[in-house]
Structure 1
Amino acid sequence: MSTEPKRASEWTIHGERVLDDTRRAVLSIADVELPDGVRFEQYVLRIPGAAMVIVLDDEERVLMMWRHRFIVDRWVWELPGGYLDPAEDPMTCAAREVEEETGWRPRSMEKLVTFQPMVGTIDQENVVFLARGADFTGSAPDINEAERIGWIPLADIQQHMDDGSIVGAGSVSGLLAVQLLKAQGKL
């Protein structure tokens, strides 16, 4: 609990009622009061953290998965990654997910960016790592995860975002961070 004094623009939470509590999500309704006294109910979704990886090879291509997302009913390119198990180190999770989902084992990894995908409703920390290079393990990609695996040139990433084939918050956030590093000459 914070001991700092409340700021004038801070919202007050009078309570939170859990509607559903599962292994992968807690859905609740919060009783919220705005600084001007207006009260309302706000849905809140709390989800375990996630970790994903941008695997970049020597030719500046990114390892991505072509998969169908039923919620938006679209085929999209996404970075490999997944939910953190309780108390799991995000880098360990990220490396494990890349290997399980793609059959590639990332080499050196560094934290790239951390973000919350929808801070007004969802509490889920996401961590994106950058791996420089990967070794093929000989394992086939998990059919439940992706139809196919592809190495997408970094130069083509913006076009995929523009045409709607890369739309996930983790993929977009991480890839934009890599593009910024490249533009700054730090890649």
Structure 2
Amino acid sequence: MTSAEWQVYGRRKVYGSPWVELWLDDVSIPGTGRIEHHVIRMPRASTTAVVTDEQGLVLLIYRHRFITGRWGWEVPAGWADPGEEPADAIAREVEEETGWRPGRVELMTEYDAMAGISDAHFRAYHATGCTRIGEPQDIAEAARVEWVPEAEVVKLLVGGEVSDGPSHAALSFYLGPHRLAASGR
């Protein structure tokens, strides 16, 4: 069995804002034919960070998401402004959302969250060496900001209390592959 790339003949924007765009792409799918395929494009780089301290605590925010109607735990996240480096953007977001300023920010992984329908590309960072600078600047971001023990983070993940995809991916990567790579295994 051979596979081939989809051929794109054209695209048109249906809707656009600074946060999201909806396009219809005229494509030919091998074995299927030509169709209009909807594509969600994200005009800005998306970032998340797992923030940890020396005692094995993870900085999480507890918030409500009106779209899903759910409360849950998340890692700090946000978009890079035009011309802003994603690592600088996540450092800014951590500070705005939590009141803690990261000392060091390192890229852990990158991934395409919904590659079949969107170009949403996420970068997940590990932030350490934080300094408390005050209360969070954006009070709409979180009802609570807490340092949570890693064992409790695992329970939150398993128990479905981290339902946000980028947070789930970043925490799972940190607790799994990132940790194994750091230990040399």
How high is the TM-score relative to the length of structure 1?
Answer: 0.89
Matching residue within 64, 70, 75 for 2:66: 70
The answer on 1:43 being equivalent to 2:38 is yes
Aligned to 2:171: 175
1:35-114 paired onto structure 2 within 5 Å: 35-47=30-42, 48-114=44-110
Question: Greater CA deviation, 65-74 or 28-37?
Answer: 28-37
Mapped contact 2:95–2:136 kept (Cα < 8 A): no
Aligned to 1:131: 127
The answer on 1:186 being equivalent to 2:183 is yes
Separation in 1, partners of 2:25, 2:110: 25
Aligned to 1:154: 150
Deviation track 1:13-40 (CA, whole Å, cap 9, x = no partner) reads 1221210111111111112211125222
Matching residue within 154, 159, 162 for 1:163: 159
Separation in 2, partners of 1:97, 1:186: 29
Separation in 1, partners of 2:32, 2:166: 36
Aligned to 1:33: 28
How high is the TM-score relative to the length of structure 2?
Answer: 0.90
Please list every run of at least 4 consecutive aligned residues from structure 1 whose deviation after the TM superposition is greater than 3 angstroms: none
Gaps of 5+ in 1: 1-6
Note the C-alpha offset of 1:184: 5.1
Separation in 1, partners of 2:119, 2:148: 30
Note the C-alpha offset of 1:157: 2.2
Gaps of 5+ in 2: none
- Over the matched positions of the two proteins, sequence identity in percent amounts to 34
Aligned residues: 181
